[in-house]
């Protein structure tokens, strides 16, 4: 046992690059293996990105015919940012039109996050003699973190956004060396914002934090100047987004969800109810002010995003953002995390304060809407968790090594427990999660699109409903070219038809009433249970029905 413990520590100290390579390989395996098959289907945002990516890769324009270099893509009406789509366009060019290609940029960002956290840990804890060990531990924990693995395996922009945020922090740590690093910092910061909207709140805080860590009494003037340069350049780079004709609409769309900041009725209603019980006395105006209820709502949402069961046991209840059986981090890492927090509070007060601010501001986008807790919207905090776990693991290793035999036993036991826990998570993810989560991943839409594609050569009318945005899956899986898509007039950024296939409830009803040969595809309810054929999803569940339509009188 002693021998194993010593070997582990020696390896950590003497061969960091080999260990890092091993961690990267493990991270890649966990993120890229079966990437196109699990999760079982493409979510609407992923397929929309895929359609735009195909169109951009073929024509340099999105599905509506706008330039690929636009600041905001209208997509199917949810106004997406350009970076992920452009990265997917490259990926589609490399791997073809498939699920793997759409998710590949996120998987790369996942592996990149491991490397970024490794570098960042060394920068953050540069005062430590064991910074190499801290950095390796941080990278290893990111590599096996369910939160990172799950979002690396789905095409969500938020995950790539946090990767660019980490890169901007890495660049900011080097900005005292040369002005070019300031420019790179601003560029990565802008890339992050052009990937995911909520990063704009986090980037300035991270930048100020990183600068404050480097600040010494001698350098402060130069650093402030560089900070101002970075932040101003970053703001200049964001001008195209703010001045985009779609910016106002995109913000309206984003703020349309019910949130703490807009829940006027609930907060004012509660305040007024209590005030009236007090006959609107002066005390009641203070004790029951509506802003106190707003702050309380916000605090409740923050608390939900910080709750230990969410972080270490159950994760996000939304099955697209978690498996429902694992927390954002593996449960055995909880003690390491707590030790990490303690060590940071004890030895790295300044760095700890920066990490705390980073974490708190990262939770803001996740805490304003009522949909809590939210693993996707709080993704900007992923790096923070890696750093805390890294320092916690380093403290544990240090303690174990100082205790000789007993310490080695504990070290190996801890290592084994984490590996078993990872194994249990992956076993559930590979075996049970696909069928458990099939519905939320729109399982069946690919099969429906393939069915429609197989019938389009028959020269009959085709109508599809089920999901009103089915045109996206059809365009993606039927291999519709970007050029063809651009020629079709959109209604509210949605294509009412592609070739002979019409989409939407009205189209379906028209097809059912029409006196011509064709197929109607929809849910069994839409077809009044009059189904001649069922379309099954990859999980084996019947999702859609098909009705063969013939002219009246024909047999």
Partner 1 sequence: MKRLRTKQPVVSEQRIDRKYWFILLCIIVLAAGLRLFRLGNVPLSLYWEEAAIGYDAYSIAQTGKDYHGNPYPLLAFPSFGDYKPSLYFYTVVPFTWLLGRSEVAVRLPSALAGIMTVFAVAEIGRLLWRGKYGLIAALLLAIQPWSIQVSRVGFETNLATMLLSFGVLCVLYSKTKMRWLLVSTALFGLSMYAYHSARIVAPLLGLVTVLVVLGPQTIRKNILLCVSSLFIGLLFLAPILVNLKNPVISMRAAETSIFSDPSVVEESNVLREQQSFSPISRVLYHRYTLFGQKILKQYLDNFSFSFLFVDGDENIRHGTQEFGLLYHWEAVTVLVGVYSLIKKKKKEFWVIVAWTMIAGIPVALTTLSPHTLRFLSAAPAFALLSGLGLIEIVEYIRGNKIVSNLTLLGVILSFTFSFAAYLHYYFRHYPIASSVDWQYGYKQLVTTLETDYKNRDRIYVTREQGRPSIYFLFYGSEDVNAVQDQDKTIAKDQQELLRVGRYMFGDFIPTEKGLLVASSPAKKPDAAVERFSVSLPDGKQIWSVWERL
Site for partner 1, rule CB under 8 A:
274, 277-278, 283-284, 287, 296, 299-300, 302-304, 306-309, 312-314, 325, 331, 342, 345-346, 424, 427-428, 431-432, 435-436
CB of 374 to partner 1, least distance (A): 15
Residue with token string 């990111």:
142
Nearest-approach distance from CB 121 to partner 1, in angstroms: 22
Hey, which residues does 259 pair with through a beta bridge?
Answer: 369
Q: Cβ of residue 306: shortest distance to partner 1, in angstroms?
A: 6
Angle, CA of 125, 128 and 130, to the nearest 5° = 105
Place of tokens 């949605």: 494
> Quick one: 424 or 512, whose CB is closer to partner 1?
424
We find the least distance from the C-beta atom of residue 537 to partner 1, in angstroms, to be 15
Q: What angle do CA 257, 260, 263 make, to 5 degrees?
A: 80
Q: Tell me which residue of 11, 45, 39 sits closest to 476, measured CA to CA.
A: 45
Q: Which is nearer to partner 1, 212 or 307 (CB)?
A: 307
CB nearer partner 1, residue 5 or residue 327: 327
90 or 292, CB closer to partner 1? 292
The number of angstroms, rounded, from the C-alpha of 271 to the middle of its chain's C-alpha atoms is: 36
Q: Provide the 10 A C-beta neighbour count for residue 241.
A: 20
Considering the complex, what minimum distance in angstroms separates the CB of residue 331 from partner 1?
Answer: 7
> Closest by alpha carbon to 380, among 182, 201, 121, 134?
201
CB atoms within 10 A of CB 361: 19
- Please, which residue, 237 or 439, has the CB nearer to partner 1? 439
CB nearer to partner 1: pick between 66 and 435:
435
The strand pair at 497-498 and 461-464 is best described as: unpaired
Q: Round to whole Å and give the CA distance between 211 and 224.
A: 8
**Nearest approach, Cβ of 435 to partner 1 (angstroms)?**
6
Residue with tokens 């980490």: 166
Residue 41 or 373 having the CB closest to partner 1: 373
Count of CB atoms situated within 10 Å of the CB of 264: 10
Shortest distance (Å) from residue 146 CB to partner 1? 14
Kindly list the distances between the CA atom of residue 313 and the CA atoms of 73, 74, 345, 364, 418, in Å, as whole numbers in the listed order. 37, 37, 25, 22, 14
């Amino acid at each position: 046992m002693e021998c194993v413990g010593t070997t582990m520590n020696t390896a950590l100290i003497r061969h960091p690059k080999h260990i890092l390579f091993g961690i990267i390989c493990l991270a890649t395996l966990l993120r890229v293996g079966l990437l196109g098959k699990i999760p079982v289907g493409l979510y609407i945002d992923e397929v929309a990105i895929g359609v735009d990516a195909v169109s951009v890769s073929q024509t340099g324009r999105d599905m509506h015919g706008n330039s690929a270099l636009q600041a905001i893509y209208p997509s199917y009406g949810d106004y997406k940012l350009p970076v992920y789509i452009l990265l997917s366009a490259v990926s589609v060019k490399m791997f073809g039109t498939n699920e793997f290609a759409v998710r590949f940029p996120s998987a790369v960002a996942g592996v990149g996050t491991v490397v970024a956290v490794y570098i960042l840990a060394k920068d953050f804890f540069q005062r430590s003699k064991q910074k190499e060990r801290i950095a390796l531990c941080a990278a290893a924990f990111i590599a096996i973190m369910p939160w990172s693995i799950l979002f690396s395996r789905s095409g969500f922009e938020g995950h790539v956004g946090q990767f660019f945020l980490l890169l901007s922090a890495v660049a900011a740590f080097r900005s005292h060396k040369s002005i070019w690093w300031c420019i790179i910092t601003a560029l990565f910061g802008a890339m992050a914002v052009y990937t995911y909207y909520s990063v704009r709140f986090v980037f300035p805080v991270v930048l100020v934090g990183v600068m404050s860590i480097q600040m010494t009494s001698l350098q402060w003037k130069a650093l402030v100047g560089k900070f101002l340069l970075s932040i101003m350049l970053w703001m200049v780079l964001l001008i195209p987004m703010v001045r985009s004709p779609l910016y106002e609409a995109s913000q309206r769309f984003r703020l349309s969800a019910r949130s703490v900041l807009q829940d006027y009725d609930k907060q004012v209603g509660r305040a007024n109810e209590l005030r009236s019980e007090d006959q609107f006395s002066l005390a009641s105006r203070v004790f029951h002010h509506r802003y106190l209820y707003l702050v309380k709502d916000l605090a409740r949402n923050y608390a939900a995003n910080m709750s230990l069961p969410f972080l270490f046991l159950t994760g996000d209840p939304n099955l697209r953002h978690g498996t429902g059986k694992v927390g954002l981090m593996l449960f055995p890492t909880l003690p390491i995390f707590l030790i990490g927090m303690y060590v940071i509070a004890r030895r790295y007060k300044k760095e700890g304060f920066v990490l705390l601010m980073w974490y708190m501001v990262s939770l803001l986008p996740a805490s304003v809407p009522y949909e809590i807790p939210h693993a996707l919207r709080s993704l900007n905090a992923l790096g923070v968790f890696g750093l805390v776990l890294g320092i916690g693991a380093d403290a544990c290793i240090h303690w174990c090594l100082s205790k000789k035999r007993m310490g080695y036993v504990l070290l190996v036991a801890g290592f084994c427990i984490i590996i078993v826990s990872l194994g249990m998570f992956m076993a559930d993810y590979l075996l049970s999660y696909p069928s458990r989560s099939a519905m939320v991943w729109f399982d069946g839409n690919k099969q429906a699109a393939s069915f429609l594609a197989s019938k389009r050569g028959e020269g009959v009318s085709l109508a599809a409903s089920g999901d009103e945005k089915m045109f996206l899956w059809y365009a993606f899986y039927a291999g519709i070219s970007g050029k063809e898509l651009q020629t079709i007039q959109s209604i509210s950024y949605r294509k009412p038809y592609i070739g002979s296939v019409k989409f939407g409830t009205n189209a379906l009803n028209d097809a059912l009433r029409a006196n011509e040969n064709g197929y109607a595809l929809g849910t069994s309810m839409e077809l009044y249970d009059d189904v001649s054929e069922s379309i099954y999803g990859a999980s084996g569940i019947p999702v859609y029905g098909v009705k063969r339509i013939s002219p009246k009188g024909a047999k």
